[in-house]
Amino acid sequence: MSVRKKIIVAMSGGVDSSTTAALLMEQGHEVSGITMQLWDYADGETGCCSLNDVFDARQAANQIGIKHQVVNYKDDFQKYVVNDFINKYYNGQTPNPCIMCNEYMKFDFLLKKSLELGADYLATGHYAKISKNNNGNYFLEKGLDKFKDQSYFLFTLGNKELSKLLFPLGEFTKSRVREISEGFDLSVASKKESQDVCFIAKDYRKFIEENSNYQEPKKGFIKNLEGKILGEHDGIHNFTIGQRKKLGIDSKTAKYVVSINFKEFEVVVGDEKDLYADTLYATNLNWSVDTDKLKNMDIKAKTRYRSPETPVDISFINDQKIMVKFSKVQRALTPGQAIVFYSGEKVLGGGWINEV
């Protein structure tokens, strides 16, 4: 991209987005920064897009020598990310708010805002790549740094969005980005990464109960696979598939949550071997290729950011529901989490695990 472009960079106050802005500025583009204010943090709380991060983003923009602005998307964040987070737990699922934030906040609202401001592109600090074929179609690919690759969190992006996005860090390793940021003498060069859910300071269970304005947790039973009652619980939002601790039951051997029946408000526990399965069903699908071509492709899938890719067979039940069969059993397949499909470096698409 040798032609000078007007690029707005989504600046979170971290080293990745700050380095992205500095690199694009060095390349001669017209660059400005924009930071989303998404959540009201209590005093002393930190998280993505907290006041501390807004300050760091503004400071980095000043160091780079670019304009910077803050946009308030707190209401939208509550509606599309926080409410989804709460609802999924109350329905016996385990949500992935990072994917929801990317889909709605960054690559819907913020992308539209950037284009309205006259930008040619919105750039972010994600570790992923964007490619373009001879027909002019855009595809999402894995980042160079396989440990940092974030394509899993971006599977909802389509051709329309990808054509207006830039991921400059997709060609770098995280360690190289640190070195580059130090070369630019950025104040955030050594800043630690946030590892937790950005809007939750401590306990997600307490957060759910304090921020749910329209429903109360319902008590229910904890049962074994044979249906025997082992105890009671104060709400299925306290549990997720694979959980071993804080089950509230007495057992001489380790027990794990193997399923959650949200209709009956039941939590089912079993042995670790009961966590393994080779089949799941997924809905709300997004594909980057014609689904007819999937029949002739070697496809791998992953069901968590850090889980390894495994060969799969896909059977379409209808346009928006598939059955996925893994070549080997998977541990703790969890409704509410995303499944993302790959062919080599390319992201073919993905969806949301509905049932196992």
Quote the number of domains for the chain: 3
CATH number at residue 225: 2.30.30.280
Which helix (H) or strand (E) is 165 found in, with range?
strand 165-166
Would the pLDDT of 214 be above 70?
A: no
Both 236 and 171 in a single domain? Answer: no
Residues 41, 72 within the same domain: yes
Q: What is the C-alpha separation between 59 and 52, in angstroms, rounded?
A: 11
What burial letters (b/e) apply to 40-67, b meaning 16+ CB within 10 Å?
A: ebeeeeebbbbbebbebbbbbbebbebe
What residues have CB less than 8 Å from 56, skipping those under 6 apart? 13, 14, 18, 187, 188, 191
Strand partners, 71: 36
Instruction: State the average pLDDT for the chain.
Output: 93
With H, G, I as helix, E, B as strand and everything else as coil, classify residue 11. Answer: coil
Distance of CA 173 to the CA centre of its chain: 20
**Distances 108 to 75, 158, 195, 260, 309 between C-alpha atoms, Å:** 15, 11, 24, 32, 28
60 and 170 housed in the same domain: yes
Of all residues in the chain, the percent with pLDDT exceeding 90 is 82
Query: Half-sphere exposure of 54 toward its Cβ, with a 13 Å CA cutoff?
Result: 14
284: left (phi over 0), alpha (psi -120 to 50) or beta: left
Same structural domain, 142 and 156: yes
What average pLDDT does this structure show over 71-93? 94
Question: What is the mean pLDDT of the segment spanning 316-325?
Answer: 94
Cα separation, 25 vs 257, in Å, equals 50
Claim to verify: residue 141 and residue 62 sit in the same structural domain:
yes
- Same domain as 118, residue 11: yes
248/41: higher pLDDT: 248
* Segment 257-294, tens digit of pLDDT: 999 999 999 999 999 999 999 999 999 999 999 999 99
- With bands split at pLDDT 50, 70 and 90, how would you rate the model's confidence at 41? low
In this prediction, residue 116 carries a pLDDT of: 98
Residue 210 resides in a domain: no
75, 56 Cβ separation under 8 angstroms? no
Which residue, among 119, 162, 160, 123, has the nearest Cα to 139 in the 3D structure?
162
Residue 195 burial by Cβ neighbours in a 10 Å radius (0-12, 13-18, 19+): exposed
Q: In this model, does residue 43 exceed pLDDT 60?
A: no
pLDDT at 169 over 90: yes
User: Under DSSP, is residue 281 helix (H, G, I), strand (E, B) or coil?
Assistant: strand
- How far apart are alpha carbons 333 and 273 in whole angstroms? 13
- Same-domain check for residues 175 and 60: yes
Instruction: Rank 48-57, 197-206, 288-297 by mean pLDDT and report only the highest.
Output: 288-297
What's the pLDDT at 217? 83
- pLDDT-derived band of residue 204, with 50, 70 and 90 as boundaries? confident
CB distance 38 to 46 below 8 Å: no
In contact, 27 and 143? CB cutoff 8 Å: no
Side-chain-side CA neighbours of residue 118 (13 Å) = 4
Domain span at residue 336?
276-355
Euclidean distance between CA atoms 346 and 50, whole angstroms: 33
158 & 48 share domain: yes
Report residue 49's pLDDT band, with 50, 70 and 90 as the boundaries: low
* pLDDT surpasses 90 at 91: yes
Taking each helix axis from N to C end, the angle separating 51-64 and 15-26, rounded to the nearest 10 degrees, works out to 20
The residues annotated with a catalytic role in the active site are 101, 198
Q: Are 26 and 144 members of one domain? A: yes
Taking the C-alpha atoms of residue 10 and residue 192, their distance in angstroms, rounded to an integer, is 18
DSSP 248-271: ----SS--EEEEEETTTTEEEEE-
- Are 94 and 237 part of one and the same domain? no
Residue 3: what pLDDT? 87
Residue 191 falls within a domain, yes or no? no
CATH number of the CATH domain containing 319: 2.40.30.10
Q: Are residues 341 and 324 in the same domain?
A: yes
294-313: b (≥16 Cβ within 10 Å) or e? beeeebbbbbbbebeebebe
Same domain, 110 and 240: no
Residue 24 has pLDDT above 70, yes or no: yes
**How is residue 207 annotated by DSSP?**
H
pLDDT value at position 271? 97
Inform me whether the pLDDT recorded for 46 exceeds 80. Answer: no
For the entire predicted model, the pTM comes to 0.93
pLDDT in tens, 328-345: 999 999 999 999 999 999
pLDDT band at 51 (very low <50, low <70, confident <90, very high): confident
Whose CA is closest to 237, among 203, 213, 189, 187?
A: 203
Instruction: Judge whether 236 and 262 are in contact, CB under 8 Å.
Output: yes
